[in-house]
Amino acid sequence: MSYTIGDGSVVLALAAGIVGYVYVKHQSRQKRLEIIHQERMAAMEKGIPLPEFPLEPEKAPRGSDPDNVIPILGTVLLSLSFGAMVVAYLNLPAASHSMWVAPLPFTFLGVGLIAFHFLKREPGR
């Protein structure tokens, strides 16, 4: 493979973007810690007791939302079956040209899952 200067500049731009993002996150964390420190020092000078709290907030693990799984699965099945039908129609020889409908049950399954999601949701939402 031969890479061009444009390819190299894209890689450098992506790397610079990632490094810049990490730097900005680090600076904002440092600034937040500095502000917390100044607040605590001012409270200590005034004799105000401060509750102990972690400097980094705990991130609660998020589970998957079961309401989002159904439309995602429906969309995946629908798009994959449409793609398979197009590929089968365009690439199969003339003798078996009618086999392009083979992924049709997966298309109906995807449409059914998407329809179920929209019919199941609460009115007014």
Q: Are residues 18 and 55 in the same domain?
A: yes
Domain ranges, residue 79: 66-120
Q: Are residues 54 and 71 in the same domain?
A: no
* pLDDT tens per residue across all 125 residues of the chain: 788 999 999 999 999 999 999 999 999 999 988 988 888 888 888 888 877 766 666 677 777 667 778 889 999 999 999 999 999 989 988 888 888 899 999 999 999 999 998 888 777 65
Domain count, the chain: 2
Do the Cβ atoms of 39 and 48 come closer than 8 Å? no
Assigned domain for 125 exists: no
Q: Are residues 94 and 52 in the same domain?
A: no
Assigned domain for 15 exists: yes
Give the angle 42-44-50 at the CA atoms, nearest 5°.
100
Q: Are residues 6 and 39 in the same domain?
A: yes
Q: Are residues 54 and 98 in the same domain?
A: no
The pTM of the full predicted model, rounded to 2 decimals, is 0.47
